[in-house]
Amino acid sequence: MLSAACKDSIRAMIYIAKLQKEGYREKFVSIHKIAKDLGLSFYFLSKNFQKLVKAGLLESHRGPQGGVRLLKRPSEIRLIDIVEVIDGMEFFNNCILGFEECSDQNPCTIHNLWAEKREEIYSMFSSTTLEDAIKNIDKFSNVKV
């Protein structure tokens, strides 16, 4: 459901939020360090981060001591914001069977079932913030970031 680019980006954003105790506008974290610590590809991650920077979720800074940092508090960045920037909202807008014109008025055979689930998934991603995610890191002993 989420692209590889989106999975990486969410993990990385949670990681940045975790590193920045105050939450945002802390020191910049280098993309190299993030990729290394999370076991992700530096090339792929930095490419994907460019979108998050353009979208105003991240601020970047070049040169020594440069890197990226959050532009908002972790409590103000929702997972859906990241999904929207990296993957777009097609998943939440499109019919599960691929019909262009599927809608409540003009449903496909499983529209009613799926529309409900899709709405719940949307709710989940839009009600979960980076802060919620990092809370689980403290709450559970072995949480993977």
Compose the 38-77 pattern: x for residues touching DNA by CB under 7 A, - for all others.
---x-xx-xx-xx--xx-----xxxxxxxxx---------
Q: Coil, strand, or helix at residue 92?
A: helix
Whether 34 and 45 have beta carbons less than 8 Å apart is answered as: yes
Q: Which of 27, 32, 36, 135 binds DNA (CB under 7 A)?
A: 32
If the CB atoms of residues 50 and 109 are measured against a second copy, the closer one turns out to be 109
Which residues, including other chains, have CB under 8 Å from residue 74's CB and lie 6 or more apart? 17, 20, 23, 24, 129, 130, 131, 134
If the CB atoms of residues 23 and 67 are measured against DNA, the closer one turns out to be 67
Which residues, including other chains, have CB under 8 Å from residue 8's CB and lie 6 or more apart? 38, 40, 41, 44, 45, 48
Paired tokens of 43: 């090339």
Alpha-carbon separation of residue 28 from 31, 60, 61, 126 (angstroms): 9, 8, 7, 26
d(CA 31, CA 38): 11
* Interface positions, 86-125, toward a second copy (CB under 8 A): 91, 96-99, 101-102, 105-114, 117, 120-121, 124
99 makes contact with DNA (CB under 7 A): no
Give me the residues that bind DNA (CB under 7 A), please: 3-5, 8, 28, 30-32, 41, 43-44, 46-47, 49-50, 53-54, 60-68
* Residue ranges binding a second copy (CB under 8 A): 1-2, 4, 7-8, 10-11, 14, 79, 91, 96-99, 101-102, 105-114, 117, 120-121, 124, 128, 133-134, 136-137, 140, 142-145
